[in-house]
Homo-oligomer: A and B are copies of this chain.
Amino acid sequence: MLDFVMDEHIHWRRDFHPSDKPVVSLLEQRKEPYQTTLMRTEEALMELSSRLKAGSVPAFSPRYLGHMISDTLMAANLGYLATILYNPNNCSYDVSSTSTELELEVGKQMASLFGYDPERAWGHITSGGTIANYEALWVARNLKSLGQALVRCHPELFHQHSAMQRANLPLGEVVDLMAALKSRGEFAALREETAQYTGSHAGLGKLLVPASKHYSWVKAADILGLGQNSLIFVPVDEFFRMDMVALRTKVLELVESETPILGVVAVAGTTEVGAVDALDEIVALREELESERGVGFYLHLDAAYGGYARAIFLDEDGEYLDLERMKSELDRTGALPLDVPWPSRSTYNAYSATPQVDSITVDPHKLGYVPYAAGGIVMKDRRVLDMVSYFASYVFDEEEIAPHLLGSFIMEGSKPGASAASVWMAHRVLPLNLYGYGQLLGQSIVGAQEFYTAVEDRVAFEVLGVQFAIEPLVRPDLNIVDFALVEVGNSSLKETNKLNSFLYDQCSYRSGPVYLEDFILSKTVLERKTYGASVDSFLNRLGIPEGEWQSEERLFLLRSCMMTPYLTSNLTFERYCQRFWNALERHLSRFVMERKLSSS
């Protein structure tokens, strides 16, 4: 297929005005400068290849149980390689008419994935989830500012509102008012009263994010000019999901004190643990506030990691499946046997609520299995684009967004058409439903759930007379398994962190070229100020007393994103699992020996 791609491209070049002479004649090709350049290119390529081979991670192998990467889809790779030869730039339709259209198609597919109406929503590819998060906050900030400008400049519209309501106008109300002003030709003037022009963020309010948030939210608050102090970190519960009681308390406190809330961010697939926040409960909280008190907030879902997993819940028409039906279909198709306890009711309910959120970050280069860089953002109501467009005031006259305007509604400028084509190819081969991506992700989740069980059931390792236990952190909502080893009888958290840090060093680039490793893991460090009491039961299982957590303040964990779909058959799983235990034992014995050496 790669040959096909190259042939197609070569002939495309040749057939463009075939009578034009070659730009480099055969004579010139035989001359010294051309030959030297060719030689230098070959030399450079040889060096690059050697370095890549030495320093790349074999994410394609089931032995790679580390970061959020895996083998990428062949279709996606081919789409990328084919398109890069034509080098389109989706910032300008003039030079990317095909790939811009592919990007808009992908945007609609992502909208449908989350249950949005693709004709009213707006989605596109970004260079990553970080930029997508910035873009969402950009929209949220300018919309919030518009709400405040409305209150300030059109007090007549709000004389029946309480101060509490004026501080937190429901989003739908703001967007509808915006549309009304626009039809009266009064929108442009009002927009000039917003932060987009004035740069004033006084009283835009607080952004509530779970303690488990990706660090891009901290950068986002800085970059978007809100300041890190505008963030409120909501604690997580024992499942490492945002604590709903704490969120409710905080939101009500802000509402009642007439403090503006810029928005709430929920996460589907946290970076550390892969936890899925109870989105349905956040949506219910917002509905309750809107209907009972007439106040609202912007709601963003950071599903950079977990977004694609919604495909598992969809039938071929994009309908959210009944839980029993879904499980039986997963079993029937061989993706996920009935005896695997997934999904939890909480995860199932969380994904059902995505159609109600205002915007969603979703990265094809994570659970979409496409190469870097391809992040994505989807917004429920494309009318909000007027708040980020650099146009005087763009009017969507028609249903369709004019494709040549893509560059006008996004944060980035030049962007590779190849990413969009790569995602388009992936979606083409694996539709965004249970029978497409659902099969791939189902298998990945089976591997993770079985690995969790294997770690949970694993009896202690005995190495050179020392016993080590292994414990998983929590049953994963998706496919990330965190775990730690502990020396039996050693209840020091400091020592336990050292042990796991040592093991990580053995299973990562730190011990030399990862190519030589038997297994590759990643790590994560949970800080007490962020994770508080959520790790109590885990520490308890490790036999580490509470006081240790107070004094040491950090917990070093080994972390496996089980993106590989190849650990499903019992046979393969058993084989790799046994090898993994063997490798761990080898590393543990080295740990014990080094300790003996250094103490002697």
Query: Would you list which residues of chain A between 187 and 227 have a CB under 8 Å from chain B?
Result: 195-201, 214-216, 218-219, 221-227
In the assembled complex, A74 has its CB within 8 A of some CB on chain B: yes
Contacts of A395 on B, CB cut-off 8 Å?
none
> Which residue in B48, B131, B365 is a CB contact (below 8 Å) of A82?
B48
In the assembled complex, A368 has its CB within 8 A of some CB on chain B: no
Interface readout for A338-373 with B: 1 if CB under 8 Å, 0 if not? 000000000000000000000000010100000111
Interface readout for A1-21 with B: 1 if CB under 8 Å, 0 if not? 110111010001100110011
Interface readout for A73-111 with B: 1 if CB under 8 Å, 0 if not? 011011111111111110111111111011000000000
In the assembled complex, A424 has its CB within 8 A of some CB on chain B: yes
Q: How many chain A residues have a CB neighbour from B under 8 Å?
A: 127
In the assembled complex, A472 has its CB within 8 A of some CB on chain B: no
Given A4-B45, A416-B373, A98-B56 contact (CB < 8 Å): yes
A87 engages B62 (CB within 8 Å): no
Q: Which among A36-44, A112-120, A289-297, A456-464 touches the partner chain?
A: A36-44
In the assembled complex, A402 has its CB within 8 A of some CB on chain B: no
Q: How far is the CB of A503 from chain B (nearest CB, A)?
A: 15
Closest chain B residue, CB of each to CB of A333: B33
In the assembled complex, A508 has its CB within 8 A of some CB on chain B: yes
A13 engages B60 (CB within 8 Å): yes
A95 engages B48 (CB within 8 Å): no
Interface readout for A213-251 with B: 1 if CB under 8 Å, 0 if not? 011101101111111111000000000000000000000
In the assembled complex, A499 has its CB within 8 A of some CB on chain B: no
- This chain: copies in complex: 2
A55-B97, A127-B131, A373-B373 given. 5 additional CB < 8 A pairs?
Answer: A40-B428, A55-B98, A56-B88, A128-B414, A223-B411
In the assembled complex, A63 has its CB within 8 A of some CB on chain B: yes
In the assembled complex, A318 has its CB within 8 A of some CB on chain B: no
In the assembled complex, A138 has its CB within 8 A of some CB on chain B: yes
Q: How far is the CB of A496 from chain B (nearest CB, A)?
A: 22
- Which positions in A face B, CB cutoff 8 Å? 1-2, 4-6, 8, 12-13, 16-17, 20-21, 23, 37, 40-42, 44-49, 51-63, 66-67, 69, 72, 74-75, 77-89, 91-99, 101-102, 127-131, 134, 138, 141-142, 195-201, 214-216, 218-219, 221-230, 363, 365, 371-373, 375, 388, 390, 411-419, 421, 424-425, 428-429, 508-509, 514-515, 518, 522, 566, 572
Tell me, in angstroms, the Cα distance from A49 to B86 when the chains sit together.
Answer: 10
Ordered by A's residue number, 17 sampled pairs between the chains whose C-beta atoms are within 8 Å are: A4-B46, A13-B58, A16-B58, A17-B61, A23-B61, A44-B75, A45-B82, A48-B421, A55-B99, A56-B96, A67-B95, A77-B85, A131-B413, A138-B222, A195-B227, A197-B228, A199-B221
A44 engages B130 (CB within 8 Å): no
> Which residue in B49, B99, B198 is a CB contact (below 8 Å) of A5?
B49
Q: Would you list the 5 A-B pairs with minimal beta carbon distance, nearest first?
A: A225-B225, A199-B227, A55-B98, A130-B413, A127-B127
> Which residue in B40, B48, B60, B218 is a CB contact (below 8 Å) of A83?
B48
B16 engages A61 (CB within 8 Å): yes
Tell me, in angstroms, the Cα distance from A462 to B221 when the chains sit together.
Answer: 61
Tell me, in angstroms, the Cα distance from A211 to B137 when the chains sit together.
Answer: 29
Contacts of A199 on B, CB cut-off 8 Å?
201, 221, 225-227, 229-230
Given A4-B45, A75-B41, A57-B95 contact (CB < 8 Å): yes
Q: How far is the CB of A492 from chain B (nearest CB, A)?
A: 25
Contacts of A508 on B, CB cut-off 8 Å?
94
Contacts of A195 on B, CB cut-off 8 Å?
222, 225, 227
